[in-house]
């Protein structure tokens, strides 16, 4: 996905990148992780010029890609140790300690002598987390990290991220709105390579207060409703359809006001009714 | 039809792959290029079937190692791309899935190899491609070659590649199948054939055809057959096709049975063959964790200094090393080769079939090969390097770990160097394995002087560096190309460029990556002067390597951007200070070293391309060929004062030639030729003469004598030659004057009188190309004019004083008169002082009679032993470590001198010098009164028991025979058959001495060796012995024919005829003998009843086909045995075009019967019978029971199948 005119300012703390599949999140993340370069533009992390000082960026970086593989015949402990060396932890004792701690923390300690080829999706993901955490990164870039984690793991990991966010930058991309709403101090919504909204999640929700209306209708009435109102989301509920619309004033017509949540903000932004970075072409 | 859909999809996919087109392009280019490069012989059209067949076969080999992925992808792409869960769950049958996929791969490959004949066609018929006239276009030629040779080969290969990949579920294993077919099967076939001595087995076993068709079948074609003959589907070739197609079908069937649409759980037998299975291994369940305690991240210290770099590099190197070491091909292949060295040590360490002492000198020569030499077993090492470089470079990306690894704070340098080092470590281990194999070889042969330091020097110094440079090149190519398979292809192409640079028009070693002038090591010379140029060249290539590494570093792909544009953009800010520094350093060094080498190879020394060399010869003939028949005075005495300076590789020669006008007319012009370019020469005369022409470039001078030299008058020429080897050359020409190993001939440094005929181009095709008058390589036997001219008219007395280093001994022809030492002060004023003012040793040699026009000067730290043989002093000069054969040589020389004196007349030279010549070589050569043998000869360790074969004994006897049958004495006319008079007579004489010393057993071994060269694939259409024109006829057929005659006529008669020939030559009755003279002498001693045999052996090109079909023995009442032999006989002649014609025979042939357990030398019955053409029965009665018997048991006739001459007695 090509990115266009993306300019973001990311402070300390957790930063959520929200957007549908293929919106350009991963591209943006890879650019931040020095794996890809924009045709134009500049990126600065603190005082570091990302494009020209890749080495410096990498020293502060913890990166968990959305998709990655592992050497199937390697053992978890060995590979983590190897990657620790690549991350610059050359002191043997501290490397060993870091590897041990991280394997224990990610519940992989018992599997440390097992071949990575035999890891399940979740175990693999946890191994990736351990790799990303190696070497106290000041910038964490995690691309869809919770995919494949079981609920308990997900909570643990997100907690960890928010702790890390206390004194470093954590950029989290996800298409799960809850992840952002629960944790992030700031967020951006991205679609088709463009940033549609950049805000603090709570403020974004606050600004929508009184503009989101809800009504439960039969499926057959949906088409008419979509013509008349700015529908931002529909959801099936016990065979009927719950419709959320965006409207500055009371739309009447049987709609009731609802307290907006981040999901509403997301859908409203995606639908083009909301956002501080309107695209040039209305969607 | 599902199978059709699968086929169509797969085929379309194949067509859309860039790599497929690339393979096609390479194949077409190969066919066109090769066709353009190879020039057909005389009388052969450019579009001959010989060429088409060879190129089709060789192109098939190229396709095999290059395009294995076509079948591999078809078989295993689904697993590789992890798409298999989707495809394997569709309701298709195994047959349809595999069938469709295989057919698509087969169709693709069939089209690819079709490009070979197509490329050839283009090279013939595309305008501007071919200038020579073509023979008519015959489509069936191409059809036959494609359908009989190329397509079946492609089918076999595709089937095996497909099976390997499908069963292992990896695309790459298809390369394993290719390797198996290209190397293992090939090498195995040749090994089996050698082991059993049956070359037909190669035809049967070789699946590719490089050895079986090109190396075997095609070699038997005559020039006229080359135009239109085709390999026909019959005999061994038919069975070959049947065998391999059987193997292919079997492999496919096995694949069909074993293949399953299952999710592969890595277990079982196949696991050991899988290197990196893409399918996940068995996963383990784990308990769900409910606690949600936060993760505590340990705080660690990190550093990013130089030390970290080193750490990281070493770690990457270690991991890369372990990865290759664990690969099934990583260590086992080289390990197996090392083991094979030990197991087959007694088969490998042989020279001319005779066991050699496994000295370290021999072993390091055997264990190493220049990286670009592809006809050694060690070619697997560059091939393995190529393979593993690709795997290492692509490792992270193929495992999907590249994002994580690339985002790690590691310098690109660390990644590149780490991987390179890992590979370097593997190569190091390979070298260690080879060294272990070498030492194991010595141990298994019971040799214990290991010279470990030499092993280390050669394997871990010279050879390792070569491999490392090549590995780096491969790394750079992969980094730059950034497409795995295209990378492989490009490295392969670069490798073929390195292997055949002259095919690409490049010859200078400065232009061929990693090339060097070569090195050698011998016990006498050590590395000699080869090490220094080698090091300069390597330093130059290391400079290139630095530069290339920077290229790899700046173009190294890190992250997701693969576009060229992007990579070029990145280059800018990747040129950091360190990169720039290294690049500048590399470029600087490269320029400085390159200039230095160029100065040495092209300025200090003359650099000639191979065509330049040819043109020089052409120039020489064009300019001075007109003096070919100009009368010149004859050399009658040579006096030399030679100062050798082995330390400085220099020599100073002052000489005087005495020339006598033996012609009936006065001579006023003198031609002096052969003035080598390496030396400067001054010439003075003892009578007024002026230079008319001085041609330094071609080494020819013409002087005009003020007063013509009248018949019978003499003239003296004084000359001084200053020789000094300056710098070094780009290819390793042998040095003439070297420490402990000086060896040069008069042709190398000394002037010669007259036009030098031997400098002319001999090859008929080349002569035509350079528009020189067509002439046969040797003048026609019946050319009366040519018959008047002997090989050389020089017959000179020789005297030389040779000075050399104080620790060396100089050797020259003649008797050593005196030896003395001169102190530094008395050193000749003219000679450039050697700086240190060393003392020098002098040796004065003088011959008692005239020797021919050829001799050599040697110097080394020789040991010497002397023995007397009936008044002839035999002196052997040998390297002090090479004592094994000194006693043997004395025995042989003494026996030979005695026997030849008795049979052929007195030995004329008074003394016999035998001297070891520095450098390899298992043979020996002879000049008048002096014999030179190579260092390998000194190491021959034959079995001299009655069952053995003392070849070195024979070789020396052969060389001693040249004292009678040599250029210096017999001096035959320079026409066809001359070689028979020199070599044929010497072979026959040597055989007699061998038989006299060791009995029939050794002689029989030698005769078998002569016959064995008939079994090697070769054309039957040779010249007759009278008009012999190739060494095969001089040595092999000449020896066999004379031996057969001596068995029919008796040794005495044959030897008497030879003695008579020599007598007539010495007395001047014959001035220039030819084979006709020999024939005349032999005829005189042959009874009429055997004239037919003499004719068959010398005049005709005759072959016999003799076979015993049945042999029965019955006991009579008297206790005797009545034996019945059913034999079949046939005699045919083959003309020069290969036409066979059967001639009726009524020949005397031996019939022999042998008892059980008794050898051929103890026949129960051996008598000559008249045998006519066709089948016939022979009855004989013998006193005891024969065990076996047959016709021509002693193999006296030329018969291509000897094994059916005899058979066991049946009921």
Give the list of residues 6+ apart from residue B258 with CB closer than 8 angstroms, or none: B167
CATH number for the domain that contains residue B1041: 1.10.390
Residue B869 inside a domain? The answer is: no
Residue B513 to residue B538: CA distance in whole angstroms: 10
A146/B672 Cα distance (integer angstroms) = 93
B559 touches chain A (CB under 8 A): yes
- Does residue B562 share a domain with residue B463? yes
DSSP state of B210: I
How many domains, chain B? Answer: 5
pTM for the complete prediction?
0.84
Q: What is the DSSP pairing of strand B1102-1115 with strand B1121-1134?
A: antiparallel
**Cβ count near A175 (within 10 Å):** 17
Tell me how far CA of residue A203 lies from CA of A16, A176, A206, A208, in angstroms: 14, 19, 5, 9
Q: How many CB atoms lie within 10 A of CB B90?
A: 9
State whether residue B399 sits within 8 Å of chain A by CB. Answer: yes
Show which of B1084, B1099, B1114 is a domain's final residue: B1099
User: Which residues from A are below 8 Å from B79, CB to CB?
Assistant: none
Closest Cα in chain A, distance from residue B71 (Å):
25
Q: Phi and psi at residue B1197, in whole multiples of 5°?
A: -90, 165
Residue B277 in domain: no
Chain A: nearest CA to B942, how far in angstroms?
Answer: 53
Contact B302 A33 (CB under 8 A): no
Instruction: Fill in the DSSP letter of residue B790.
Output: B
Domain boundaries, chain A: 13-200, 210-258
Q: Which residue has the tokens 């004489």?
A: B989
- The verdict on a CB contact (< 8 Å) between A55 and B280 is no
Q: If you ran DSSP here, which 8-state letter would residue B212 be given?
A: I
Burial of B282 (0-12, 13-18, 19+ CB in 10 A): exposed
Q: What local confidence, expressed as pLDDT, does residue A265 receive?
A: 86
Q: How far is B39 from chain A (nearest CA, A)?
A: 53
- Chain A residues within an 8 Å CB radius of B315: 82, 85-86
**B756 occurs within a structural domain:** yes
Whole-angstrom distance, CA of residue B970 vs CA of residue B958: 15
On whether residue B243 sits in a domain, the answer given is yes
Write the CB contacts of B139 (distance below 8 Å, at least 6 apart in sequence).
none
The reply to whether B271 touches chain A by the CB within 8 Å rule is no
Would the CB atoms of B301 and A71 count as touching at under 8 Å? Answer: no
| Domain hosting residue B85, numbered range | 2-264
Residues of A in contact with B264 (CB under 8 A): none
Nearest to B667 by CA among B708, B626, B712, B715: B708
B1059 and B1167 co-located in one domain: no
Q: How many C-beta atoms surround the C-beta of residue A166 within 10 A?
A: 10
CA distance B1053 to B1083: 10
B576 to chain A, any CB pair closer than 8 A? The answer is no
Residue B939, in any domain of the structure: no
Residue B632 sits in the same domain as residue B589: no
Regarding beta strands B752-753 and B667-673, do their DSSP bridges make them parallel or antiparallel, or are they unpaired? Answer: antiparallel
Quote the tokens at residue B1135.
């003309």
Q: Helix or strand or coil: residue B714?
A: strand
Chain B residues touching residue A145 (CB < 8 angstroms)? none
Residues B619/B699, Cβ–Cβ less than 8 Å? no
State whether B800 and B850 are in the same domain. Answer: yes
Parallel/antiparallel/unpaired status of strands B872-878 and B911-917: parallel
Alpha-carbon torsion angle B7, B9, B15, B20, nearest 10 = -70
* Tokens at B618, concatenated: 């052409």
Any domain includes B663: yes
Give the residue from B598, B600, B433, B462 showing the smallest Cα distance to B527: B462
Query: Chain A closest CA to B24's CA: distance in Å?
Result: 34
Across the interface, whether the CB atoms of A91 and B282 are under 8 A apart is answered: no
Domain boundary among B1035, B1067, B1099: B1099
Which one of B301, B315, B409 has the shortest CB-CB distance to A94?
B301
Cα-based distances in Å from B1020 to A273, B597, B1134: 95, 49, 7
Answer for the pair B10, B2: CB distance below 8 angstroms, yes or no: no
Run of H or E including A16: strand A13-18
User: What is the distance between the alpha carbons of residues B26 and B493, in angstroms, rounded to a whole number?
Assistant: 9
Instruction: Name the residue among B298, B403, B407 with its Cβ closest to that of A97.
Output: B298
Count CB atoms within 10 A of the CB of residue B291.
8
Q: Is there a single domain that holds both residue B582 and residue B621?
A: no
Q: Would residue B883 count as lying in a domain? A: no
- Buried b / exposed e across B471-497, counting CB within 10 Å, b at 16+? bbbbbbbbbbbbebbebbbbbbbbbbb
Q: Which of A36, A95, A111 sits opposite B559 (nearest CB)?
A: A36
Q: Which phi and psi (to 5°) does residue B1177 adopt?
A: -115, 140
The verdict on a CB contact (< 8 Å) between B286 and A87 is: no
pLDDT at residue number B679: 67
Q: Note the Cα B45 to chain centre separation in Å.
A: 28
Structure tokens at B280: 């996940």
Dihedral of CA atoms B1007, B1013, B1015, B1021 in degrees, nearest 10, equals -120
**Contact between B337 and B437 (Cβ < 8 Å):** yes
User: Rounded mean pLDDT of chain A?
Assistant: 84
Same domain for B578 and B463? Answer: yes
Domain A13-200 has CATH 3.40.50.300: yes
Asked if B296 lies within 8 A of A30 by C-beta distance, the reply is no
> Which stretches within B81-146 are classed as H helix?
84-88, 94-125, 139-144
Nearest to A275 by CA among A197, A167, A170, A219: A197
Interchain CB distance below 8 Å, A136 and B300 = yes
Closest among B542, B538, B500 to B517, alpha carbons compared: B538
Closest approach of chain A CAs to the CA of B559, in angstroms? 4
The C-alpha atoms of residue B396 and residue B402 are separated, in whole angstroms, by: 5
Helix (H) or strand (E) holding B541: helix B531-555
Q: Which residue of A has its CA nearest to B306?
A: A88
Residue with tokens 């950049």: A198
Rounded-to-integer distance, Cα A7 and Cα B439, Å: 68
Residue carrying structure tokens 């005779």: B354
Q: Are B380 and B183 in contact (CB under 8 A)?
A: yes
Report CB contact under 8 Å: B286, A83.
Answer: no
State whether B303 and A88 contact (CB < 8 Å): yes
What is the CATH number for B618? 2.60.40.1730
Angle in degrees, CA B711, B715, B719, rounded to 5: 150
Neighbours of B761 (CB within 10 A): 19
In chain B, positions 228-267, which contact chain A (CB-CB < 8 Å)?
Answer: 266
3-state helix, strand, coil in chain A (%, to 5): 35, 20, 40
Last residue of one domain, picked from the residues B828, B861, B894: B861
Same domain, B1034 and B1155: no
- Tally of residues, chain B: 1211
Residue B600 CA to residue B981 CA, distance in Å, equals: 44
B250/B387 same-domain check: no
- Tell me whether B328 touches chain A (CB under 8 Å): no
Distance (Å) of CA A1 to CA A145, A163, A191, A198, B608: 20, 31, 10, 19, 59
Pair type for strands A48-49 and A44-45: antiparallel
Position B292 scores a pLDDT of 47
Per-residue pLDDT of chain A (283 residues; tens, 9 = 90+): 567 777 778 888 889 988 888 888 888 888 888 888 777 777 887 788 887 888 888 888 889 988 888 888 888 999 999 999 888 888 888 889 999 998 988 888 998 898 888 888 888 888 988 898 888 888 889 988 877 778 887 887 788 788 878 878 889 888 788 888 878 888 888 888 888 888 888 888 888 888 888 888 888 888 888 888 888 888 888 888 888 888 888 888 788 888 888 888 888 888 887 776 644 433 3
Other beta carbons within 10 Å of B829: 6
Identify the closest residue of chain B to A55 by CA–CA distance.
B409
Distance in angstroms (rounded) separating the CA atoms of residues B418 and B413: 8
Are residues B1143 and B1011 part of one domain? no
The C-alpha R_g of chain B, in whole angstroms, comes to 35
Exposed/middle/buried for residue B1019 (C-beta within 10 Å: 0-12, 13-18, 19+) = middle
Q: How far apart are the first and last CA of chain A?
A: 18
Same domain, B647 and B776: yes
Angstrom distance (rounded) from CA B1081 to CA B904: 14
Q: How far apart are CA B130 and CA B118, in angstroms?
A: 15
| Chain A interface includes B403 (CB < 8 A) | yes
CB contacts < 8 A (A, B): 178
Q: List the single residue in A36, A86, A152 with the smallest CB-CB distance to B288.
A: A152
Interchain CB distance below 8 Å, B409 and A58: yes
B702 with B503: CB under 8 angstroms?
no
Q: What pLDDT, on the 0 to 100 scale, is given for residue B1199?
A: 87
Same-domain check for residues B1070 and B1109 = no
Chain A CB contacts of B559 below 8 Å = 30, 33-37
State both tokens at B169: 């579920």
Give the C-alpha separation, B298 to A133, whole Å. Answer: 9
Instruction: For residues B680 and B698, state if they share a domain.
Output: yes
DSSP string of B273-329?
G-SS-SS-------------PPPPPPP-----SHHHHHHHHHHHHHHHHHHHHHSTT
Residue B1178 near residue B1149 (C-beta atoms within 8 A): no
Q: How far is B510 from B472, CA to CA, in rounded Å?
A: 18
Q: Averaged in consecutive runs of 10 residues, what is the pLDDT profile of chain B (1211 residues)?
A: 86 89 90 79 80 90 86 89 80 88 94 93 80 83 91 94 91 85 74 71 83 79 79 86 94 91 55 44 51 61 84 93 88 87 82 82 88 80 91 89 88 91 96 94 88 93 95 94 86 88 84 90 89 94 94 85 78 80 93 95 86 90 90 93 93 94 92 74 89 88 92 93 87 83 91 88 85 86 87 87 95 94 62 60 94 92 93 94 94 96 93 91 90 92 86 94 90 92 94 93 88 73 89 91 94 94 91 93 94 94 92 90 93 84 92 89 91 93 92 90 86 58
């Amino acid at each position: 996905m090509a990115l266009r005119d993306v300019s973001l300012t990311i402070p300390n703390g957790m930063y959520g990148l929200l957007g549908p599949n293929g919106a350009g999140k991963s591209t943006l993340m890879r650019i931040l992780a020095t794996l890809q370069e924009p045709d134009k533009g500049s990126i600065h992390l603190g005082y570091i010029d990302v494009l020209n000082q890749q080495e410096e960026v990498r020293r502060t970086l913890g990166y968990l890609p959305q998709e990655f593989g592992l050497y199937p015949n390697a053992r978890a402990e060995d590979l983590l140790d190897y990657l620790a060396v690549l991350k610059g932890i050359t002191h043997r004792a501290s490397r060993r300690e870091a590897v041990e701690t991280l394997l224990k923390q990610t519940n992989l300690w018992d599997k440390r002598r097992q071949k990575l080829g035999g890891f399940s999706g979740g175990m693999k993901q946890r191994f990736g987390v351990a790799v990303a955490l190696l070497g106290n990164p000041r910038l964490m870039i995690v691309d869809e990290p919770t995919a494949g984690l079981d609920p308990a793991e997900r909570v643990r990991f997100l907690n960890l991220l928010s702790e890390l966010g206390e004194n470093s930058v954590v950029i989290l991309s996800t298409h799960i709105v809850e992840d952002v709403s629960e944790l992030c101090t700031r967020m951006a919504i991205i679609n088709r390579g463009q940033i549609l909204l950049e805000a603090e999640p709570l403020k974004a929700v606050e600004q929508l207060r009184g503009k989101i209306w809800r009504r439960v209708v039969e499926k057959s009435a949906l088409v008419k409703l979509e013509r008349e109102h700015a529908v931002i989301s529909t959801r099936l509920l016990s065979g009927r359809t719950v419709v959320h619309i965006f409207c500055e004033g009371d739309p009447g017509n049987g709609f009731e006001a609802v307290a907006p949540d981040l999901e509403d903000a997301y859908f409203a932004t995606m639908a083009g009714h909301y956002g501080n970075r309107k695209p040039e072409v209305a969607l | 039809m599902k199978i059709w859909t699968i086929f169509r999809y797969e085929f379309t996919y194949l067509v859309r792959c860039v790599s497929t087109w690339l393979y096609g392009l390479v194949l077409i280019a190969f066919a066109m290029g090769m066709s353009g490069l190879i020039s057909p012989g005389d009388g052969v059209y450019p579009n001959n079937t010989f060429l088409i067949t060879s190129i089709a076969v060789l192109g098939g080999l190229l396709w095999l190692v290059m395009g294995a992925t076509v079948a591999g992808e078809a078989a295993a792409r689904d697993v590789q791309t992890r798409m298999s869960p989707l495809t394997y769950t569709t309701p298709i049958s195994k047959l349809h899935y595999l069938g469709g996929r295989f057919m698509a791969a087969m169709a693709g490959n069939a089209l690819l190899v079709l490009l070979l004949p197509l490329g050839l066609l283009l090279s013939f018929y595309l305008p501007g491609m071919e200038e020579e006239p073509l023979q008519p276009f015959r489509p069936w030629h191409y059809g036959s070659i494609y359908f009989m040779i190329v397509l079946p080969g492609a089918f076999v290969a595709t089937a095996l590649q497909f099976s390997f990949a499908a069963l292992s579920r990896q695309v790459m294993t298809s390369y394993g199948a290719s390797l198996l077919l290209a190397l293992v099967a090939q090498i195995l076939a040749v090994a089996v054939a050698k082991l059993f001595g049956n070359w037909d087995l190669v035809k049967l076993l070789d699946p590719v055809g490089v050895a079986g068709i090109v190396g075997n079948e095609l070699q038997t074609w005559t020039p006229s057959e080359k135009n239109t003959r085709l390999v026909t589907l019959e005999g061994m070739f038919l069975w070959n096709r049947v065998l391999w197609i059987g193997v292919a079908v079997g492999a496919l069937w096995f694949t069909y049975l074993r293949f399953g649409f299952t999710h592969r759980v890595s277990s079982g037998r196949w696991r050991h063959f899988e290197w990196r299975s893409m399918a996940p291994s068995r996963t383990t369940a784990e308990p769900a964790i409910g606690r949600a305690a936060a993760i505590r991240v340990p705080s660690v210290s990190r550093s990013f200094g130089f030390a970290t770099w080193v750490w990281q590099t070493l770690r990457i190197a270690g991991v890369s090393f372990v990865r290759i070491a664990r690969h099934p091909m990583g260590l086992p292949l080289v390990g197996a080769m090392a083991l094979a060295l030990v197991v087959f040590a007694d088969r490998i360490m042989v020279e001319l079939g005779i066991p050699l002492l496994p000295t370290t000198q021999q072993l390091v020569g055997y264990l190493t090969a220049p990286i670009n030499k592809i006809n050694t077993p060690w070619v697997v090492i560059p091939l393995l390097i190529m393979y593993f470089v690709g795997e290492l470079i692509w490792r992270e990306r193929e495992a999907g770990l590249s994002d994580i690894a690339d985002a790690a704070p590691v310098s690109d340098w660390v990644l590149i160097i780490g991987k390179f080092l890992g590979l370097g470590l593997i190569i190091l281990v390979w070298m260690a394995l080879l060294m272990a194999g070498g030492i194991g070889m010595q141990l298994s042969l019971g040799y214990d002087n290991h010279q470990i330091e030499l092993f280390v020097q050669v394997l871990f110094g010279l050879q390792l560096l070569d491999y490392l440079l090549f590995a780096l090149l491969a790394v750079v190519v992969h980094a730059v190309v950034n497409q795995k398979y295209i990378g492989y292809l490009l490295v392969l192409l670069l490798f073929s460029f390195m292997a055949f640079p002259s095919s690409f028009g490049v010859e200078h070693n400065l232009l061929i990556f990693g090339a060097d002038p070569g090195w050698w090591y011998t016990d006498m010379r050590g590395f000699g002067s080869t090490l220094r140029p080698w090091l300069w060249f390597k330093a130059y290539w290391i400079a290139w390597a630095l530069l290339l590494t920077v290229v790899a570093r700046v173009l190294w792909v890190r992250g997701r951007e693969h576009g060229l544009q992007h990579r070029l953009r990145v280059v800018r800010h990747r040129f950091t200070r360190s990169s720039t520094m290294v690049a500048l350093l590399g470029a600087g060094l490269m320029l400085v070293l390159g200039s230095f080498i160029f100065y040495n190879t092209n300025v200090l020394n003359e650099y000639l391309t191979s065509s330049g060399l040819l043109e020089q010869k052409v120039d020489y003939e064009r300019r001075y060929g007109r003096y070919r028949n100009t009368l010149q005075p004859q050399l009658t005495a040579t006096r030399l004062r030679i100062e050798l300076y082995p330390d400085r590789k220099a020599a100073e020669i002052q000489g005087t030639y005495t020339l006598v006008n033996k012609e009936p007319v006065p001579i006023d012009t003198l031609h002096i030729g052969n003035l080598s370019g390496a030396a400067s020469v001054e010439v003075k005369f003892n009578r007024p003469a002026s230079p008319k022409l001085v041609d330094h470039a071609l080494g020819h001078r013409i002087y005009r004598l003020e007063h013509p030299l009248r018949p019978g008058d003499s003239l003296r020429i004084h000359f001084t030659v200053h020789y000094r080897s300056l710098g070094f050359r780009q290819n390793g020409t042998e040095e003439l004057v070297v420490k402990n190993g000086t060896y040069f001939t008069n042709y190398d440094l000394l002037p010669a009188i007259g036009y030098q005929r031997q400098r002319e181009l001999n090859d008929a095709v080349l002569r035509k190309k350079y528009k020189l008058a067509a002439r046969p390589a040797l003048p026609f036997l019946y050319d009366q004019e040519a018959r008047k001219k002997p090989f050389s008219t020089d017959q000179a007395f020789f005297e030389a004083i040779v000075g050399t280093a104080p620790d060396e001994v100089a050797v020259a022809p003649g008797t050593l008169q005196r030896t003395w030492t001169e102190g530094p002060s008395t050193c000749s004023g003219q000679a450039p002082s050697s700086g240190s003012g060393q003392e020098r040793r002098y040796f004065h040699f003088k011959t008692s009679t005239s020797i021919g026009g050829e001799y050599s000067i040697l110097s080394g730290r020789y040991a010497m032993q002397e023995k007397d043989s009936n008044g002839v002093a035999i002196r052997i000069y040998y390297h002090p470590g090479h004592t094994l054969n000194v006693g043997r040589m004395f025995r042989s020389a003494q026996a030979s001198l005695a026997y030849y004196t008795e049979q052929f007349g007195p030995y004329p030279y008074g003394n016999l010098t035998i001297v070891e010549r520095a450098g390899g070589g298992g043979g020996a050569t002879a000049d008048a009164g002096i014999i030179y043998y190579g260092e390998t000869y000194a190491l021959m360790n034959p079995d001299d028991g009655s069952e053995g074969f003392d070849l070195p004994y024979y070789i020396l006897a052969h060389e001693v025979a040249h004292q009678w049958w040599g250029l210096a004495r017999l001096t035959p006319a320079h026409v066809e058959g001359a070689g028979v008079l020199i070599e044929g007579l010497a072979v026959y004489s040597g055989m007699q001495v061998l038989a006299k010393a060791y009995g029939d057993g050794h002689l029989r071994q030698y005769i078998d060796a002569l016959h064995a060269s008939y079994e090697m694939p070769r054309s039957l259409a040779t010249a007759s012995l009278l008009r012999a024109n190739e060494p095969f006829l001089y040595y092999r057929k000449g020896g066999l024919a004379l031996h057969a005659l001596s068995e029919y006529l008796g040794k005495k008669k044959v030897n008497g005829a030879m003695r008579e020939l020599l007598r007539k030559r010495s007395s001047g009755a014959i001035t220039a003998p030819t084979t006709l003279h020999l024939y005349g002498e032999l005829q005189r001693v042959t009874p009429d009843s055997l004239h037919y045999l003499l004719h068959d052996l010398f005049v005709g090109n005759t072959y016999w086909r003799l076979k015993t079909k049945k042999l029965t023995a019955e006991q009579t009442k008297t206790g005797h045995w009545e034996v019945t032999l059913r034999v079949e006989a046939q005699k045919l002649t083959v003309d020069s075009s290969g036409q066979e014609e059967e001639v009726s025979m009524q020949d005397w042939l031996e019939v022999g019967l042998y008892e059980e357990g008794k050898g051929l030398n103890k026949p129960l019955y051996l008598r000559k019978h008249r045998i006519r053409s066709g089948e016939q029965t022979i009855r004989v009665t013998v006193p005891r029971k024969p065990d076996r018997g047959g016709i021509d048991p002693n193999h006296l006739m030329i018969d291509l199948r000897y094994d059916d001459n005899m058979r066991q007695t049946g009921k």
